[in-house]
Amino acid sequence: MQTRRWINRYQTQTLVLGNTLLYIEGVFNIARGRVFALIGIAMLLAGYGIANDKKMAWRLGVAASIFSVAMRLTSQGNGIEIIFSLVFPIALLTLLLHPLSRDYQKIWFS
């Protein structure tokens, strides 16, 4: 019997933290507006897929975090607001693209 989970604590630490940040950023992005809501839904789906070892979900998570960074860079506001809004999306992208995360998904994800 195959189990479905929200967090896979047996993955590498970078993937577990990235998975958690995908859920958090996904919820916050849904609350930000229509375009960010699409990114947020993609992040939630990617988080669930990563927890269940799906390679396509990891790719979706990377793409959604890249779009999130791009949307924040193109948003209007002063420099400090943009810098603070980039902290979590860049941390998420870094965690997902970390060599431990990439190696783990190459070997174990289906």
Q: In this predicted model, what pLDDT tens digit does every residue of 62-95 receive, in sequence order?
A: 999 999 999 988 887 787 888 888 999 999 999 9
DSSP string, 10-44: TS-HHHHHHHHHHHHHHHHHHHH-HHHHHHHHHHH
DSSP 86: T
Q: Which residue in the block uniquely carries the two structure tokens 């195959």? A: 2
pTM of the model: 0.90
What was the pLDDT predicted at 97?
95
Question: What does the alpha-carbon distance between residue 3 and residue 68 come to, in Å, rounded to a whole number?
Answer: 30
49 CB-contact burial (10 Å; exposed 0-12 / middle 13-18 / buried 19+): buried
Q: Which tokens sit at 40?
A: 């947020």
Question: What does the alpha-carbon distance between residue 12 and residue 96 come to, in Å, rounded to a whole number?
Answer: 11
Q: Check whether 104 has a pLDDT greater than 70.
A: yes
Residue 39 confidence class, pLDDT cut points 50, 70, 90: very high
